[in-house]
Chain A
Amino acid sequence: EPEVTQTPSHQVTQMGQEVILRCVPISNHLYFYWYRQILGQKVEFLVSFYNNEISEKSEIFDDQFSVERPDGSNFTLKIRSTKLEDSAMYFCASSERLWNQPQHFGDGTRLSIL
């Protein structure tokens, strides 16, 4: 069964450094998403992306965050200057072209900011 792939599985970064999290969505999916889950808390929506542009973003997705689809397969989330509170699991998800299709999640990247 096709799946969303995320790399790395764990990223340790010094506070203030830039970090890029990578995702390969399911190949025939056209909608892409990033979520985060701080330890012990709920999954929170960050941003959605369609047709090479941001479709929707939450209040969490401020100027420190950016997303990009640099080629036909990868979808990336960049955090420019990481803070301690950015430590969380980051999940990439994708869904098909059709309206209301479910989102399928990758295994996540655990980001630890020191």
Chain B
Amino acid sequence: QKEVEQNSGPLSVPEGAIASLNCTYSDRVSQSFFWYRQYSGKSPELIMSIYSNGDKEDGRFTAQLNKASQYVSLLIRDSQPSDSATYLCAVASGGGADGLTFGKGTHLIIQP
């Protein structure tokens, strides 16, 4: 049974600070890792994808992957109130048609 674990939060961060979101996964053969943002009542919106160990930066977002520890993280720099949402970690084993296994998500609140 593939599992993706996230702290459900809420995680409260002051505006302008760095928000750090974490995720662990159980399936060692996982190859693809994604962070999605989901506003209440809306669909998941892709933020970042990462496939190899290390850091990947895109604007204010940095994804970090450590396959040995089965750990993925997302850093959001200069947090804005509009970043307040639930952040979903999703994992796929590989191959084009793999279903994603999602975590329950971390509810992030950016305090103005």
| Chain A residues with a Cβ under 8 A of chain B | 30-31, 33, 35, 41-50, 55-56, 58, 89, 91, 95, 97-108
Contacts and interface: CB of A to CB of B under 8 A. Distances in A.
A104 B99 CA distance: 12
Nearest to B32: A100
A88 to B, nearest CB: 13
B92 to A, nearest CB: 7
Given A91-B43, A102-B49, A105-B45, A45 B34 contact: no
Nearest to A39: B41
A48 B99 CA distance: 7
Contact of B97 (A35, A46, A56): A56
Given A41-B104, A42-B104, A102 B34 contact: yes
Contact of A107 (B43, B46, B94, B96): B43
B49 to A, nearest CB: 5
A43 B44 contact: yes
B96 A101 contact: yes
Secondary structure of the B contact surface, majority rule = loop
Given A91-B43, A105-B44, A106-B43, A48 B98 contact: yes
A43 B89 CA distance: 10
A53 to B, nearest CB: 10
Q: Which of B43, B45, B100 has the most CB of A within 10 A?
A: B43
A56 B44 contact: no
Contacts of A46: 99
Contacts of A99: 94-96
B42 interface: yes
B42 A56 contact: no
